[in-house]
Structure 1
Amino acid sequence: MSNTGLHPALERADALYELRRYDEAKALLGQRLAEDPEDVGAWVRLARCLAEQGERAEALEATERALAIDPEHISALLQHARALQSNSRITEAEEPLREVIRLAPEYWYGYALLGHWLYRIRALRFGQANGGTVTQEALTGFLREADELALTAIRLAPEEVFPYEVRWGIARMADDEAVKNEMDRAILRLDPHHPEALARHTRQAATAPGVKAAEAAGLYADALAATPDSASLQQGLDHASYRLLRGVRWIALLSLGLAGTMLDLWTKEGEVPRELPVPLVQRLWYFVPVGVLWAVGALLRYRRLRMGVRYNLRSLIRRRRWPRIVLGQAAWAVLCALVISQVPWSGRGVPRIVFWAGLVPTLATIWFDRKKRT
């Protein structure tokens, strides 16, 4: 709606509202209403500031004052509908929104907001009339009606994001994955940094079958670079980073297995185990395959990670307990492997105990946290 001829006090109030200086905006609007109690725009703006500060009843009263002056004021009708919804009177919000559509049939926002709430309104009314129960058939009809409104809003304003968000929410209620994906693509086309759509799109790509932890972490890191305040994306990156850390334990267990093999801790019946103690050269040779394991499986893999993922790995270890447990277990398994492989044992009894001490706690925890996120 045009601001042509807007009173200077209302322009200043709009600027203060954008800066979230609601108390100052309210004071200025109060002065304006003292001068002209019939200024509908001032009442609407006052209601908006009151709503932002959680003064819902007062916001509703301000919209009623505005509509008493001008019952066909579009912004007043929209703000009145919002105030009704925030005061838990959403079923009454349909009437002012229908009036907006009647008065401004080419204004997309009335259709979008009504589509956003309509299936809830219909479900509440249906439930009140049927003992609190809403049938699936009835809900499908409500969603279809709401979807038609959202589609009308999209037709009227194809470059606005909100109608696509509304249709995504309707598709979620209808469990329509195809429409949800279509709406996410449309939202990201209009707003590549849209936090929710970007988080959903990234999560879908990162959790697709066959996507490895390093690739998933890279996807989340790229998305976080665009929307650094997204808690959902940060959670996804933390989970992918934790998956990377868990892989370190398997390298540690392989190191432990190589140490046990070097000492022939378990031999088949009829086989003669090698003599103990193992010569020094063979004990030192143990570091060659183990070094290759760690260089390829951990160091090289780490160096290939994006810088953002590296930073998050270090941050995750500082912030969360389980990543520290994982690294501690890997270190313990490696320590047991070194004790087995580097001490010149003359018998196999103690090395077997050390082997099980390194293996069992680590394997048990791998099983325990196989579905753990962080």
Structure 2
Amino acid sequence: MTTDHDPTVRVRRARALMDLDRHAQAKALLAEAIAEDPSDADAWCALSRCCHGLDDYSGALDAAEHALTAAPERALGWRMRSLALLGLKRHAEARVSAMESVRLEPWFWYGHLLVAQVEVADTGPAFNGPTAREAARRTLQLAPERAASHYIAGCVAERLDQAAEAEAGYREALRIDPEHLGARNNLARLDMDRGNHRSAAEGFAAVAAADRGTGVGTHNLTVVATQLISKARWVSVAVLLLTDLGIVSTDAGIGPYARIGLLVLLVLGWGAWLLWAARQLPARLRMPLLRTVRGSLAVRFSFLGVAAFTLAALALLLVPPLDRHLNLVVVTAFVLQIGAFQAAQSASRRASRET
């Protein structure tokens, strides 16, 4: 006969609470269970999972180590240890633990998935493509009905630069589980890489609305906004360069009709950008996107860069330069400087992948 004070019951109740994202309550129950039986490997494994859910990867690793001390041949302990090390970005150790879990339970699909997940997460030279692909293949073979199997297959394919195969994996994961945020996020990223900002924004907005605290969807929405804004800078760059060429190529500088023509070009260019940006974003997403990104430093930098280009173009058109050759050097250097800034910031503006 078991009671509410039985450690086994506590562990069972704690797992149910974790399924409801009530990790703090689960942790309290597990602490009681471990206090009664410090050698309970199940309780330690559950505590590792609980700490992982709280983003306490050091605590998750400590609990997994205790579980393995109590039961070194328990594959679950090795899987929990691998997940904790993955959270700490200690990929080499996470890889060893994941492989050990597969050795102990080669028939269990999640161990193979974890091997693939570690490989995908490792962005260094230790990444092993054949190992990742074989692990994903085994995962699909053992659990073809699970969305996670198709999702990790998509992640591996994307890591191997096989976009079509990756998209197929993500779409199958979404077919099985329409609420799979990782698949939705990564599909949106693929859309953005293809220049389909409309579809990308819709996907990222759905991820942000169901955010589990990762902030990935919100970050990726700022990437969309930054890319849309950065496109506008080319209007002012074109006007700047045309104005400079006109000033340098003629002794008298550009005439009034040429200035009017360039001003019209500037207005038409901005109008074309506004029309393009509006078509890229569904009307229902425009205000949510603005609210999401208004505090983003990257978006502010992009906006300031575009504004600076526009003001410089207007200044050149409306105010004659003191020295046309000096003006050309200064403006060209300014354009190159902003271009270098944009290139340097490209990595930080890149959309985040979920694995």
TM above 0.5, one fold?
Answer: yes
After TM superposition, give the deviation of residue 367 of structure 1 in Å: 3.5
Report the counterpart of residue 202 of structure 2 in structure 1. 222
Report the counterpart of residue 18 of structure 2 in structure 1. 17
Contact preservation (8 Å) 2:170, 2:183: yes
Matches within 5 A, 1:1-374: 9-18=10-19, 22=23, 24-33=25-34, 41-50=42-51, 53=56, 54-55=58-59, 56-65=61-70, 67=71, 77-83=75-81, 86=84, 88=93, 90-91=95-96, 93-101=98-106, 105=107, 108-114=109-115, 116=117, 142-143=131-132, 145-153=134-142, 156-158=143-145, 160-172=146-158, 174-190=160-176, 194=180, 196-208=182-194, 211=195, 216-228=196-208, 229=215, 230=217, 233-234=220-221, 236-250=223-237, 252-253=239-240, 256=243, 265=252, 289=261, 292-299=264-271, 301-302=273-274, 305=278, 306=281, 308=286, 311=290, 320-321=300-301, 323-339=303-319, 351=320, 353=322, 360-370=329-339, 372-373=342-343
Partners of 1:48 and 1:317 lie apart in 2 by 34
**Where in structure 1 are there 5+ consecutive unaligned residues?**
1-5, 121-132, 268-277, 340-350
Partners of 2:133 and 2:204 lie apart in 1 by 35
Partners of 1:322 and 1:23 lie apart in 2 by 40
Partners of 2:243 and 2:295 lie apart in 1 by 28
After TM superposition, give the deviation of residue 246 of structure 1 in Å: 0.8
After TM superposition, give the deviation of residue 254 of structure 1 in Å: 7.6
Structure number with larger C-alpha Rg: 1
TM (norm. structure 2) is 0.63
After TM superposition, give the deviation of residue 324 of structure 1 in Å: 1.5
SS in 2 for 1:157: coil
Contact preservation (8 Å) 1:118, 1:146: no
Partners of 1:35 and 1:100 lie apart in 2 by 29
Partners of 1:260 and 1:300 lie apart in 2 by 26
SS in 2 for 1:49: helix
| CA RMSD between the two structures | 4.7
Partners of 1:360 and 1:286 lie apart in 2 by 21
Distance 1:175 1:169, change over 3 A: same
Partners of 2:133 and 2:197 lie apart in 1 by 38
Contact preservation (8 Å) 2:41, 2:67: no
After TM superposition, give the deviation of residue 168 of structure 1 in Å: 3.4
Report the counterpart of residue 272 of structure 1 in structure 2. none
After TM superposition, give the deviation of residue 187 of structure 1 in Å: 3.3
SS in 1 for 2:168: helix
Where relative contact order (Cα < 8 A, 6+ residues apart) is larger, the structure is 2
Partners of 1:84 and 1:256 lie apart in 2 by 60
Contact preservation (8 Å) 2:205, 2:218: no
